[in-house]
Structure 1
Amino acid sequence: MKVVCFSGLGEPLLCRVCYAQLHSCMNFRFLFLESFVKVSTLLRSHVVCCLLAIPLSVMTLSGCGGVVSVKPPVTSPPASSIPSSPQWVVAWGASPENALPAAENPGGDEQSFRFLLLPTIDGTQERVHFSNLFGLTPITIGAARLAVATGSGAAIDPTRDTPLTFAGASSITLAAGQEVVSDPVNITYAFGETMAVSVYMKGAFPPLTQHDSQVTTNYESVSQAGNTTTDASGASFSQAVTEWYLLTGIDTYGSYQGTVALFGSSSIDGHESNYGDTNSYPVLNVAIPGQDNDRPADWLARQLMSAGYRLGVLNAGELGDPAGEDASTAAGTGLAGIDRMKHDVLQQAGVKTVVIYFGGIDLREDCVPATNVEASLSNMVSQAQAVGVRVILATLPPAEYCTTSSADLLPSAANPYQGDLYPGPENPGSTQRRTLNDWIRTTGALLPGVVAIADFDNALLYPVHPDFMMPSFYSSDNFHPNGVGYGVQSSAIPLTSLLAPR
């Protein structure tokens, strides 16, 4: 056996497949563990290593039931071979979650907000979506603007700042449940630049339809400050907020291939993507101030841009969101995935493909059986297939164990890998996750409309403890990856399956 190393995050899939094959072979498990310890420190510097027999094309494992083929990652076609057309696509999105009264969403009076966001594709013409979907009373947007942020707090570039209008009017009142799209404006921004949406809420207003901003800091003025949306310096936006209020998306118009949607719960939304990877589980990592560009949509956008695609990426993730109604939504979350699919994905601009990654909340928080999630995933696939949207189903990575299980089946300080398949007994939630993944790779892969599988499980699992992620990919809660882990997860999405053949 020989250790073969691949540097960089663009090539981890080959190694993950190797790991998966090795951990399934009893004869090689201890050999693998011994060698893995020797290279584990390399993982902390993002050098992914695996044990491969030479030649790479075929690996024969004695006692493993035959020959295992190991194929290199598929490269994407050049941009010149991918047709594009002038169309609206999603540059950035955030699904509306709720309008519940809370300390972070108290309502206000005569107040202005500045929301920051990172588009997933460059643009020259934009329109902005605002939502009062979960609001119970009318609200009035007294003024709104779109600008390019300078990267320094709430400051914006005054030369690239323009007012937004709604059917020509600078102000609009949204009824309860109403949503609106602004008139198009023309601002040129490059991929990687941050945008800012400024909103003045006229008069008194209740808690607003919102989305938890996760890792991005937004800003607000003090109450009764009035309309400060033209403040380029950002000085009037003196208070940080952790939400995107009303703002649900920005579309851009140009020669693009369309939009790919990432649909799921918090691990699509990018929870704890701002966490570093200095430590390895069970030592927890910490947040890195200012790191706000490692969400799954950000990683996929960079991978698409590097491969020559012209696709916008819609992040349609929500915290605590289950796949189906048989599982209860977490406090503060709006609708189950089967109910969000049409509004949050299929009705968005230019959607060609959706990556569906659901089931973690169902198995972890509500501890429902895998068959319940299978039914919900089938429902979502059917909705997409009915309108001609391609589907990529994602397997569930480790750490979806049932949290209501007995203490001796849950990780603890004394035994951080308690409840793992090896040595067992396995947590029942992990057993259900394994069952669900088997279904996704077999039955789910054959559902009409499904064009590929994104094997997040094989990309992230730790072969020595396959119910847990690789130690250096953890954030701080033993469920969500850190920023680097999200990058590895994203690399499992087969880019060549995102668009239909020419």
Structure 2
Amino acid sequence: MTIGFKTTSFSMACAVLTATTSLFASAVANAGAPGCGDDHWVSNWSASPTNAIGGVEAVAAGMAVSPVGTGLSTNQTHRVVVTPHRGGEHVRLHLSNRFGSEPVTFTRVTIARQKDGAAVEPESVQEVRFDGGRESITAAPGSDVVTDPVPIAFSAFEPLAVSIYVDRAPSAVTGHDLGNATSFLTTPGLGDHSSDTGADAFARATTRVSFVSQMDVLAPADTATVVAFGDSITDGHVGNDPLGAPRIEGVVDKNVRYPDFLQRRFDEVGREVVVTNAGIGGNRLTRDTPSEFPKFGPSGVARAQADVIDQAGVSDVIVLMGINDIGTPIGVTYEEVVVGYTNLIDQFHSAGLRVHLGTLLPASNSVTHGALSIPPAEPVRARINAWIRSQHLSDSVVDFDAALRDPGNHSILDRRYASTDNLHPNPDGYKAMAAAVDTARLAGNRCSAGAAR
């Protein structure tokens, strides 16, 4: 049963708050080691945050920011659209100021089912609370916050709109650069429109994900999360020109990333597995982002804990990362990449996760990872893939390379699967990647029948 917050009855509102607080306490009690008959939280959607944007870049994205320390009032509402991979009736949200240099206050937050564009279904609007009933919360620099449980009924792949009113602009906004989904913003100074059901106030559209880094759903005990961990290929980027500029038509709001297709495979066979996406465009396994490109995020080794291990209900992780290490001048060595993989596998195994290591896709005819790679990336990629196929550190290998390479030239993508930049797959390529995953090798939850853990 879904309990609504929108009511004119004060007594009903109090009852809802009491019920939600009780649910929160129960979920917290079960979060550590739930029994096999208990519902528990599992991550249902994620968008790994990257270094916060500010200044001219933030203004170009339509986000209000203020000079450091001024706390200028801006009164802007962000309406972030997320598409969960599993349906449910109770969620909790993770909001991030992980890369902010000063506190940010989330003054008022709501969640609702998306109707069309920035409009939402009126009967679905729910108030989001913090710390057992508070309307707002302040996230310290470098921190994330988690909301109280929120009652809202929704289906798998049904978009939800998270509206965040920020009355004072931070100096920079933590978020995910390429969401491959359309979100919305009011103009700065327009005030609190977090409860609006119409779209009129949200005049600006963006594919950047502001503040929201994860959504959890309360699910049966046999449900587990598989995290796809990687770079722009996991993130679902499709290049529209030789330099990799994003392709919009046919990709944004279509849910055609390889983790989306993998989710559909699990759904088809009825496995209680949720696939979340921890890809970041431009991300590297061994190196943090250059200061000139903050949107590329910390290295995979550095962000493994926050972006994978800390997700709720995780049992398995699929790692596809390293092409940017060898393709971004000056490329790192084979030995450095192997050390990075070993570090990741050790981190994940120490956390009790099963690790499935993916081979790197070919890209020798691309501009950025072919002609401009220094030293040439292809010989290093071939050597890395040979190591991945022969090593016994990971629990399994996903041979993405074999699934998508050209049969006549193993150094390039099959033309059926390549986007215009010859580096990123097209949607058909992402579907082929999902098909390359041996789902039987993914353990799932310890309560699942036949689970390997």
Q: Specify if TM > 0.5.
A: yes
Q: Which consecutive unaligned segments of at least 5 residues does structure 1 have?
A: 1-82, 412-418, 420-426
In 2, the alpha carbon distance for the partners of 1:249 and 1:233 equals: 25
- In structure 2, do the counterparts of structure 1 residues 171 and 327 end up closer, same or farther at CA, with 3 Å as the change threshold? closer
Aligned to 2:434: 490
1:317 matched to 2:279? The reply is: yes
Is the CA contact (8 Å cut-off) linking 2:101 and 2:172 kept in structure 1?
no
Is the CA contact (8 Å cut-off) linking 1:320 and 1:329 kept in structure 2?
no
Once the two structures are superposed, residues 359-389 of structure 1 have per-residue CA deviations (whole angstroms, 9 ceiling, x without a partner) of 1101111322222111100100000111110
Aligned to 1:227: 192
Match of 1:107 among 64, 67, 76: 64
In 1, the alpha carbon distance for the partners of 2:253 and 2:215 equals: 21
Is the CA contact (8 Å cut-off) linking 2:165 and 2:194 kept in structure 1?
yes
In 1, the alpha carbon distance for the partners of 2:225 and 2:422 equals: 31
Aligned to 1:272: 238
Question: What is the RMSD computed on CA atoms of the aligned residues?
Answer: 2.6
Once the two structures are superposed, residues 118-144 of structure 1 have per-residue CA deviations (whole angstroms, 9 ceiling, x without a partner) of 111111110000010100111111100
Match of 1:410 among 360, 363, 371: 371
Aligned to 1:288: 249
Match of 2:311 among 348, 365, 381: 348
In 1, the alpha carbon distance for the partners of 2:325 and 2:173 equals: 27
Report the identity percentage.
32
Match of 1:242 among 207, 213, 236: 207
Residue identity in the other structure for 1:90: S
In 2, the alpha carbon distance for the partners of 1:432 and 1:84 equals: 48
1:472 matched to 2:429? The reply is: no
User: Moved runs in structure 1, 4+ residues, more than 6 A?
Assistant: none
- In structure 2, do the counterparts of structure 1 residues 85 and 463 end up closer, same or farther at CA, with 3 Å as the change threshold? farther
CA shift, 1:254, in A, is 1.4
Match of 2:351 among 364, 376, 387: 387
In 1, the alpha carbon distance for the partners of 2:37 and 2:290 equals: 41
Is the CA contact (8 Å cut-off) linking 1:112 and 1:227 kept in structure 2?
yes
Aligned to 1:263: 229
Once the two structures are superposed, residues 134-182 of structure 1 have per-residue CA deviations (whole angstroms, 9 ceiling, x without a partner) of 00111111100111112x2111111112010001111111121121000
In 2, the alpha carbon distance for the partners of 1:171 and 1:462 equals: 53
Once the two structures are superposed, residues 163-218 of structure 1 have per-residue CA deviations (whole angstroms, 9 ceiling, x without a partner) of 10001111111121121000001111111211110100012332210101342111
CA shift, 1:313, in A, is 1.5
Aligned to 2:322: 359
Aligned to 2:165: 200
Aligned to 1:30: none
CA shift, 1:296, in A, is 2.1
Is the CA contact (8 Å cut-off) linking 2:322 and 2:337 kept in structure 1?
yes
CA shift, 1:403, in A, is 5.8
Aligned to 1:128: 93
Aligned to 1:440: 388
In 2, the alpha carbon distance for the partners of 1:327 and 1:204 equals: 25
Is the CA contact (8 Å cut-off) linking 1:214 and 1:272 kept in structure 2?
no
- In structure 2, do the counterparts of structure 1 residues 105 and 498 end up closer, same or farther at CA, with 3 Å as the change threshold? farther
Is the CA contact (8 Å cut-off) linking 2:287 and 2:325 kept in structure 1?
no
Is the CA contact (8 Å cut-off) linking 1:320 and 1:330 kept in structure 2?
no
- In structure 2, do the counterparts of structure 1 residues 328 and 236 end up closer, same or farther at CA, with 3 Å as the change threshold? closer
Match of 1:97 among 46, 50, 62: 50
Is the CA contact (8 Å cut-off) linking 1:87 and 1:258 kept in structure 2?
no
Is the CA contact (8 Å cut-off) linking 1:128 and 1:182 kept in structure 2?
yes
In 1, the alpha carbon distance for the partners of 2:129 and 2:371 equals: 53
Number of residue pairs the alignment of both structures matches: 393
Aligned to 2:265: 303
Residue identity in the other structure for 1:301: Q
Aligned to 2:136: 171
Is the CA contact (8 Å cut-off) linking 1:215 and 1:272 kept in structure 2?
no
Secondary structure of the residue aligned to 2:436 is coil
Is the CA contact (8 Å cut-off) linking 2:365 and 2:422 kept in structure 1?
no
TM-score (normalised: structure 2): 0.81
Is the CA contact (8 Å cut-off) linking 1:147 and 1:187 kept in structure 2?
yes
Once the two structures are superposed, residues 381-415 of structure 1 have per-residue CA deviations (whole angstroms, 9 ceiling, x without a partner) of 0001111100000001111679689xxx739xxxx
Aligned to 1:368: 332
Is the CA contact (8 Å cut-off) linking 2:176 and 2:209 kept in structure 1?
yes
Aligned to 1:335: 298
Residue identity in the other structure for 1:239: R
In 1, the alpha carbon distance for the partners of 2:414 and 2:293 equals: 30
In 1, the alpha carbon distance for the partners of 2:87 and 2:124 equals: 14
Is the CA contact (8 Å cut-off) linking 1:93 and 1:315 kept in structure 2?
yes
CA shift, 1:84, in A, is 8.0
Is the CA contact (8 Å cut-off) linking 1:148 and 1:194 kept in structure 2?
yes
Secondary structure of the residue aligned to 2:166 is strand
Match of 1:158 among 109, 118, 122: 122
Residue identity in the other structure for 1:355: I
Residue identity in the other structure for 2:230: G
Is the CA contact (8 Å cut-off) linking 1:106 and 1:206 kept in structure 2?
no
- In structure 2, do the counterparts of structure 1 residues 287 and 138 end up closer, same or farther at CA, with 3 Å as the change threshold? closer
